[in-house]
Amino acid sequence: MKPILLHKILNLRAIVIAALLFSGFSLKADDVSFTASAPQAVEVGEQFRLQFTLNAKGSNFTEPNITDFQVLSGPNTSSSSSIQWINGQMSQSTTNTYTFILMADHAGKFTIPSASIKTGGKTYQSNPVTIEVVAGSRPAASQSQGGGQQQSNNQGGTQTTTNPDLSSDDLFVAITVDKKKLYQGQYLVATIKLYTKKDVSGFEDVKFPPFTGFWSSDLEAPQQVTLQRENVNGQIYTTGLLKKVLLMPQRSGELTIDPMEITILTRTRVRSNNPFDDFFGGSYRTTQNKLASKPVKINVEALPAGKPADFSGGVGNFTINASVDKTEVKANEAVTLKLKVSGTGNLKFINNIKIDFPPDIDVYDPKTTQNIKTDASGMSGSVTFDYLFIPRYAGNYRIAPITFSYFDTKTKTYKTLTTQEFNISVEKGDGEAEANSGVVQGLTKEDVKFFGKDIRYIKPVGQLDRRQQMMFGTPLFYGCYAVPLLIFVAIILFRLAQIKQNANQAAVKNRKAGKVSRKRLRQASKYMKQGQEAQFYDELLKGIWGYLSDKLSIPVANLSKDNVTDILAAHNVDSQLVDELMDLLNSCEFARYAPAAVSGGMDEIFRKADNTLSKLDQKVK
């Protein structure tokens, strides 16, 4: 090949590669994010990090005006990027961080304003950050960063003991409610949280209260508890939400929310004369702490006397709307009256509302449809009642206005809502039977009279043709019975096979464990592309522990590294693969506190997790 031709080919290849790289590295403006993060609470004299993160390349970073904190250093700039090929598509994630080391020197609640940066020809502003500074004893260094429900990093060995002298001020569980006095049918929100100044490594024997006497609905019940710092009576604690529940008392009087019971595993570093312990992570002692929250008394008042006659149990704040689908029909045609109650309150407990239908109308039981959302603000939405009725005779029918009474918790009074009335015009039905029935049209069934005869007149309709009417005994007659029977038998057999397949829930979870873990790994991959390290490692840990829970048929709360190691060994999983899994867990947990100290970065950790779980899925059946 001639040198000139070879040179042209190489140049052309370089241009194509550059174009591909440029197209793969481009980032839409809608995908750019510039965020600020810092601890929610710190103590006077404590140093902490204020970090601004941009998921793209930026320039002209303008730092915020920080007046309420001492700036010890910063902005310290760091950048990282990664390239991925997925299904032939190349994607690049770039993360730039600007870090300040600050120190709080006086108590109060302060807001750090937004910073700004330019990228892609546009200027982006970060979110402002509010930090509460309190006076008090400094927490342990291990509590300075948030964490999750994790197992201890026992690279140098672990001892497990029971500590009966642990101060309740250092570690406790509490149930808090937003109100302790309310009416029956009103709602309250109960929050169960862990408060600690210790290094928490895991949970055991979790027993939530049964909430006897309440209707309950979980608002938040995280499988992975995320820890964050919080000011509690002037002291900095690391707190973790265990559960948040919406409660509605079902009877009046004093009700008790029973204690929450849990065993917390805390980790303490053990001094050692071995000079290599510090280098390899050191040795730790794991302590079991059995905790129980204090019971909470709730005073529930009965609804006041003087309930309206149409009161159906509604407590809250509601509106009502009624409509009919038609006002002109023929006899024996169906009409639907729709009654919709909307608002906030105990919508689930509103019973069928009484409607006074006129005589000569057949009314069926209403169909109830609930469109209800339950959150921390209570129960809101609507309940719809569809009443189907059929006028049997011609005439004009009036449906009186519908009333709905409820107890308003704001005004503490009963209120009555009223709809409009409905007039239904009914004409004669098709055919002549009604016209010759001897019934005087426009009268009710109680007013029906017969004139001159005690037997209604039956009009002859001519000679019946038996050959056209008779179908009994024909092949079509038997076929009409046989085909539905065969279809019914096929449905039953299919359903039985499906029930048998899903009977063993543990086997179903075991079978779907790999699929669920891959879904979480995809979510972790998204965080990795966005440069969100904390969310990436948190989602990765959720995926690993969730996979082990489904695969080994053990609840997440009962999993630990020790019992996982034993169970995998019982499944004849080779020790090298088990060591890979433990090393992966340790790396993820350590990265929660010091992401920069983990070698290889998120990309390598992700590939290692994908490879390890794939090999486990083949070994454990």
**pLDDT of the residue at 147:** 36
The rounded radius of gyration (Å) of the Cα atoms in the chain is 36
Mind giving me the DSSP string for 317-358? EEEEEEEES-SEEETT--EEEEEEEEEEE-GGG--PPP--PP
Interval 273-288 mean pLDDT: 64
Euclidean distance between CA atoms 380 and 413, whole angstroms = 20
Which ranges constitute the DSSP H helices of 405-558? 466-469, 475-502, 505-530, 533-552
- In this predicted structure, what is the pLDDT of residue 423? 92
- Residue 36's pLDDT is 87
- Whole-angstrom distance, CA of residue 133 vs CA of residue 190: 27
Residue 203 · residue 222 · CB < 8 Å: no
The DSSP code for 251 is: S
Kindly report the number of other CB atoms within 10 A of residue 226's CB atom.
Answer: 14
Which amino acid appears at position 613 of this protein?
L
Q: Is the pLDDT of residue 297 over 90?
A: yes
Give the pLDDT confidence score for residue 549 in this predicted structure.
Answer: 81
Q: Which of 72-76, 332-336, 440-444, 560-564 has the lowest mean pLDDT?
A: 440-444
Check whether 323 has a pLDDT greater than 90.
Answer: yes
Nearest to 56 by CA among 28, 96, 22, 16: 96
CA-to-CA distance for 114 and 91, rounded, in angstroms? 30
Q: Is the pLDDT of residue 150 over 70?
A: no
Angle between helices 533-552 and 505-530 (to 10 degrees): 170
Average the pLDDT over 228-250 and give the result: 84
Per-residue pLDDT band at 414 (split at 50, 70, 90) = very high
If you ran DSSP here, which 8-state letter would residue 468 be given?
A: H
Alpha-carbon dihedral sign for residues 586, 591, 594, 596: positive
Residue 544 near residue 609 (C-beta atoms within 8 A):
yes
Residue 411 has pLDDT above 70, yes or no: yes
**CB atoms near residue 455 (< 10 Å):** 7
Residue 2 has pLDDT above 60, yes or no: no
Beta-bridge partners for 416? 405
Are 93 and 32 in contact, with CB atoms under 8 Å apart? no
Query: What's the rounded mean pLDDT across residues 491-519?
Result: 71
- pLDDT given at position 296: 92
Confidence of residue 14 (pLDDT cuts 50, 70, 90): low
Section 404-433 average pLDDT = 84
Report the distance separating Cα 261 and Cα 227, nearest Å.
19
- Whether domain 311-426 has CATH 3.40.50.300: the reply is no
d(CA 259, CA 172): 12
Half-sphere exposure (CA, 13 Å, Cβ side) for 595? 19
For the segment 590-609, the average pLDDT, to the nearest whole number, is 69
What local confidence, expressed as pLDDT, does residue 365 receive?
85
Residue 202 contacts residue 122 (beta carbons within 8 Å): no
pTM for the model stands at 0.49
Cβ–Cβ < 8 Å for 315, 301: no
Give me the residue label for tokens 């006899």: 331
Mean pLDDT over the full length of the chain: 76
Reported as a pLDDT band with limits 50, 70 and 90, residue 467 is: low
What are the residue ranges spanned by the domains of the chain?
A: 3-134, 143-301, 311-426, 466-502, 505-619
> Which helix (H) or strand (E) element contains residue 81?
strand 70-86
Is 468's pLDDT higher than 70? Answer: no
- Higher pLDDT among residues 266 and 208, named by residue: 208
Average pLDDT in the 461-471 region? Answer: 54
Which uninterrupted H or E stretch holds 299?
strand 296-301
> 73: which strand partners?
101
**Position of tokens 């079509």?**
476
Over residues 211-232, the pLDDT tens digits come to: 888 988 888 877 777 778 887 7
Q: What is the average pLDDT across 96-117?
A: 85
- Max mean pLDDT range (27-31, 51-55, 291-295): 291-295
pLDDT at 457 over 50: no
Reduce the DSSP state of residue 11 to 3 states and report it: helix
Find out whether 266 and 161 touch, Cβ atoms under 8 Å: no
127 vs 84, which has greater pLDDT? 127
Q: How far, CA to CA in Å, does 391 sit from each of 150, 413, 439, 442? A: 67, 38, 15, 12
The pLDDT, as a whole number, for residue 514 is 67
Stated as kind and residue range, the H or E segment containing 384 is: strand 378-391
Q: pLDDT band at residue 432, thresholds of 50, 70 and 90?
A: very low
- Residue 321: the pLDDT is 92
- What is the CATH class of 3-134? mainly beta
Write the secondary structure of 121-161 as one string of H (helix), E (strand) and C (coil).
Answer: CEEEECCCEEEEEECCCCCCHHHCCCCECCCCCCCCCEEEE
b (16+ CB within 10 A) / e for 290-305 = ebebeebebebeebee
- Nearest partner of 438 among 458, 460, 459, 456, judged by Cα: 456
Name the band, by pLDDT with cuts 50, 70 and 90, for residue 596: low
- pLDDT range class, residue 473, cuts 50, 70, 90: low
pLDDT, residue 319, reads: 92
Per-residue pLDDT averaged across 188-211, rounded? 86
Q: Which amino acid is at 229?
A: R
User: Of 605, 614, 596, which Cα lies nearest the Cα of 537?
Assistant: 605
Residue 450 has pLDDT above 80, yes or no: no
Q: Fold identical between 3-134 and 311-426?
A: yes
3-7, 79-83, 185-189, 482-486: the lowest-pLDDT one: 3-7
Report the percent of the chain where pLDDT is more than 90: 10
d(CA 191, CA 172): 14
pLDDT at 504 over 70: no
**Ranges 255-259, 435-439, 515-519, 522-526: which has the least confidence:** 435-439
Q: Label residue 418 by pLDDT band (50, 70, 90).
A: very high
In the chain, the percentage of residues whose pLDDT exceeds 70 is 74
pLDDT, residue 466, reads 52
Contacts of 519 (CB under 8 A, 6+ apart): none
- How far apart are the C-alpha atoms of 581 and 616, rounded to whole Å? 9
